[in-house]
Structure 1
Amino acid sequence: MVFAHLVHSQMDAVLEFLCNLPGPTGKPALEFVMIEWTGRQHMFYGQYEGKVREEVESICGRTDGQTTHHPISSPELRSSAIALCKLLQHGVATHDLRLQDITVRGDQVFSPSEGIRTRSKAARGQVPERWTVIPLPIKIYKLLVNELSVIMESSASRRASAGTGEELESFEEEDEVEDEEEVDDDDDVTGQTLSELFGVGIGCRYDDELYDEEEEDPDAVKDPLYQVDIQVYLTEFLQHFARLPCYSAFRQHLNDGEKRVLQSVGITS
């Protein structure tokens, strides 16, 4: 997203430009851009990434009501998340009304009387979507908490997968040793190896050899943001933000899931 990249180096100029440019609704374009940006944060991902983490199967408690496959730590996501951090920091530090006066959709509201929401009901308009309305800085803060949650979940999943892989590799090595001993015994009788008997060997490769690793985009690798550990960055940012006088006003807009995310990184109040 072009505005996310510009925020890193020309924030003041970008804000001034968007405030003076009329948007589709007649209001300043800044409002339109921020509504679209925060509403589509979950869609920012890249096809190239040497450090890409596993996709998360489902995301619970997101502020945009979306459930999506999300390649964590892609360059676009990293750039967007850090840009949102800078915008939030700027808005709070300078009390910039251009940001504070913008309102956006917050959490989706569900009523017990509505029963189970289905696609058919939504298509027929029987269950209209309802959302809270919150100030833009609050929305950005909630998005950052949710981004950290997704990244932490993905990291935990990768660690678990790595542990399982090591155990499987150890088991396979032991199994290969036993197979080799059996093959040696069979060779004395038949003069053939198992690979010859079953027609495998030359030209056969394991799955990890069949697929080349995705080439890294040279431009992405050169970008300083490529080197940023987004999990560490977001953790430190949120920990610092929790020490600001305005933090209590932001915390009261968090749901239980978001509060648990903060507790997991030492933010308890």
Structure 2
Amino acid sequence: MKFNPIIESFLVHLSAPNVDQFINLLLAIPAQGYGNSLAYIMSEWSQLQGEIQGAYQIKVTTTALALLISTRHPELSRIEVNGHLVKTSAGITTRSKARVTPDNWTKIPLPSKIFALLADTLAEIQEQVGDDADNIDEEDSDWEEVQNGDATPHDIMYSASVPSNANPSVEHLNAMAKVFDEDEDDSYDDDLAKTDSLNEVKLLDFLTNTFVNLWDSDRPLFEYLCQGLTNPQRVAVQKVLQK
């Protein structure tokens, strides 16, 4: 069965707010060629995330990645995934040369990759929104309503960003089942978008909550992850921290 990041994202959301338990489950399941299923899934997912298209699909996968990194599960840092493509030779790469010389990638810890992917999406949203991104009223953010509570950082981020009716309906589960069937066409993604309450999530707010939460709860980790960002990614993150 071909790996599908959308399916894995659904499973992450279904496990929330106990995402760390889902991570532990994947760690206990072996995977051929990898230390465990989590290593396999995240290796594939981190490579495919940048190719995902569609507002709903991007929203579901991006928020799932945010939930994963917000757990700060220690095993995440032990997984290495592809980072940046290494250019091994100058000049034009022909098809024949590409077949002989496979791509070489740097290896980076999984949290660094997820952090960069989230920063990429944040930068794209800010670019689309333009000046409006700098004028968002903080009083309109759900973050203000929960940041002084007694919940854990992960619970705060999840409750602040996900609709209260996020539990899947029968229609939503039926649509999910059709997506699991490889023989079905992509039209069922539209069915999911209509029935999934996650489609109501404001992705800019969700990502803002994610970065602010990590900044407040684990400053050393946040600063370490920022070291691997490109300048545009770093600027995008700094904008939400300055609000």
Q: TM-score, normalised by structure 1?
A: 0.57
| Alignment match of 1:98 (pick from 69, 75, 78) | 75
What secondary structure, in the 3-state scheme, does the structure 2 residue paired with 1:106 have?
A: strand
1:151 CA displacement:
2.4
Number of residue pairs matched by the alignment:
178
Aligned to 2:135: none
Aligned to 1:131: 105
What secondary structure, in the 3-state scheme, does the structure 2 residue paired with 1:242 have?
A: helix
Contact 2:85/2:103, CA 8 A, preserved across alignment: yes
CA deviation digits over 1:200-245, x for unaligned, max 9?
xxxxxxxxxxxxxx9x945423322111111222123223323332
2:127 pairs with 1:153: yes
| Alignment match of 1:43 (pick from 45, 51, 62) | 51
- d(CA) in 1 for partners of 2:192, 2:65: 22
2:91 pairs with 1:109: no
Aligned to 1:236: 209
| Alignment match of 2:223 (pick from 248, 251, 265) | 248
Q: Quick one: structure 1 residues 217 and 123, their matched pair in 2 at CA, closer, same or farther if it must change by over 3 Å?
A: closer
Aligned to 2:39: 31
1:145 CA displacement:
0.3
| Alignment match of 2:56 (pick from 36, 54, 75) | 75
Unaligned residue ranges in structure 2 (runs of 5+): 1-5, 132-186
- d(CA) in 2 for partners of 1:225, 1:88: 18
- d(CA) in 1 for partners of 2:198, 2:99: 45
Percent identical: 27
2:22 pairs with 1:14: yes
Q: Alpha carbon RMSD of aligned pairs, Å?
A: 3.0
Q: Quick one: structure 1 residues 21 and 266, their matched pair in 2 at CA, closer, same or farther if it must change by over 3 Å?
A: closer
Aligned to 2:151: none
- d(CA) in 2 for partners of 1:133, 1:219: 34
Q: Quick one: structure 1 residues 253 and 267, their matched pair in 2 at CA, closer, same or farther if it must change by over 3 Å?
A: farther
- d(CA) in 1 for partners of 2:76, 2:34: 17
- d(CA) in 2 for partners of 1:85, 1:39: 16
What secondary structure, in the 3-state scheme, does the structure 1 residue paired with 2:38 have?
A: helix
Q: Quick one: structure 1 residues 145 and 117, their matched pair in 2 at CA, closer, same or farther if it must change by over 3 Å?
A: farther
1:85 CA displacement:
0.7
Q: Quick one: structure 1 residues 115 and 22, their matched pair in 2 at CA, closer, same or farther if it must change by over 3 Å?
A: same
What secondary structure, in the 3-state scheme, does the structure 2 residue paired with 1:27 have?
A: coil
- d(CA) in 1 for partners of 2:70, 2:108: 17
- d(CA) in 2 for partners of 1:132, 1:85: 23
Unaligned residue ranges in structure 1 (runs of 5+): 46-70, 158-213
Contact 1:242/1:267, CA 8 A, preserved across alignment: no
Contact 1:108/1:130, CA 8 A, preserved across alignment: yes
- d(CA) in 2 for partners of 1:251, 1:33: 24
Structure ID, larger Rg: 1
1:137 CA displacement:
0.8
Q: TM-score, normalised by structure 2?
A: 0.63
1:117 CA displacement:
4.3
